[in-house]
Amino acid sequence: MSASVRPVRAGILTYHFSENFGAVLQAYALQRWLQQQGLQVSLINYHPAYVEDGSELKQLLNPRHFKGNLKALYLKTLSLKTWVFGANAQSRQFEAFKARFLNIDGPRYTRADQLNQAVRNQQLLVAGSDQIWNPSGQTGLDPAYFLAFDCDKAIRRISYAASFGKEYLEPEYHAKAEVLLKQLSAVSVREESGVAIVQQVSGLAAQCVPDPTLLHRDYSALLATSTQTRSGHVFCYALRTGVGVREVAQALSQHVAGPIVSPYNAHRRWRQIGQTVQVGPQDWLKLLKESAYVVTNSFHATVFAIIFEKPFIAVGLPGSKASLNARVCNLLAKLELSQRFLPADNADQVQRLIAAPIDWVAVRARRQALQQVGERYLLEQLAAIKS
């Protein structure tokens, strides 16, 4: 690139701040891919209180706000616990990861109306992946994650692999979603169910593209900074519930004759499965990569099992949480790995999956085809800026 040609400046809005392995790794992956195309990339430091600290309580006597207020109180309690007792070892490792590997720009912004200042010098804004379009029970849809705030109209605003988190969007949000979607320059989502939602509420044609963690091709820089030396274990990562995951993990532990290792989850409300370890994102990756088997109900743990070609079982979320399985099921269907999905109430079928090998050569080819879909979409958006 000529010294006289300044790189395109791009800003990403996503859940880069969460103490969640998938959230920070997808932020890292999208940032790195754009940097590798020659862009000057930063993560806009939008961190609204409702995501982790809890929103303001609303109309305490109104039953319509009961669930939202309950979630807000729960998050406020966790935040208070951290303030009183200090950050634990895992939290400190997350902060170190962000400082070293994420280019987070500016002070913390907590409101969408502050973002016009944050994006003043950008040429491209990307509403990044993760469940940024899943309405919060506290505040509903957040316009900031649709890039719907006052800024220079010349800035190209797109989404990349944004997710509604589930197979549907509640009708009460349709009208607002239509307005928010129609101000984007281009729309892409992570799941086919998202394509259908966008079409239903706005009439727009969204493109289905892979999560950034699949788009990015090389995690050696992260793995090289890990201090983990374990191998031969069952990597067990459960979110929201341990139902089904526990039974499968125990069966796999017997199969591989190795221990169960479970990364710590601050929101865990069930008895631990195997040995709980507090690790940062690099060590989480290394533990997964060096395992003998992976069992999880997490989308991103499933993604990395596929990237590192580890034998895995994706356990479905049960009951009222089952709609969240769309994320994993969509990915597995595209890679022709749907047989690796095990409903939580079918945990007794684990031996059948253990006996079924995975054709990694075929999976690798399909994964590369998915990467190309994502790359084409983003390259088209970059070309639109430069033309």
DSSP per-residue letters across 235-292:
EEE--S--TTHHHHHHHHHHHHT--EEEE--TT--S---SEEE---HHHHHHHHHT-S
pLDDT in tens, 219-233: 999 999 999 999 999
pLDDT class for 1, splitting at 50, 70, 90?
very low
Q: Are 83 and 22 in contact (CB under 8 A)?
A: no
Mean pLDDT, range 353-360, rounded to an integer: 96
State the Cα–Cα distance between residues 185 and 198, nearest whole angstrom. 14
Backbone phi, then psi, for 284, in 5-degree steps? -60, -45
Task: Give the C-alpha separation, 92 to 82, whole Å.
Answer: 12
Lowest mean pLDDT among 81-85, 261-265, 381-385: 81-85
More confident residue, 215 or 5: 215
Max CA separation in the chain (angstroms): 64
Half-sphere exposure of 26 (CA within 13 A, CB side): 30
Q: How far apart are CA 353 and CA 342, in angstroms?
A: 9
Q: Which domains does the chain have, with CATH numbers?
A: 9-217+368-386 (3.40.50.11720), 220-356 (3.40.50.2000)
Could you read off the pLDDT of 265-280 as tens digits, one per residue? 888 889 999 999 999 9
Q: What is the per-residue pLDDT for 269?
A: 87
Residue 120 has pLDDT above 90, yes or no: no
User: pTM for the complete prediction?
Assistant: 0.90
Is the confidence at residue 82, as pLDDT, over 70?
no
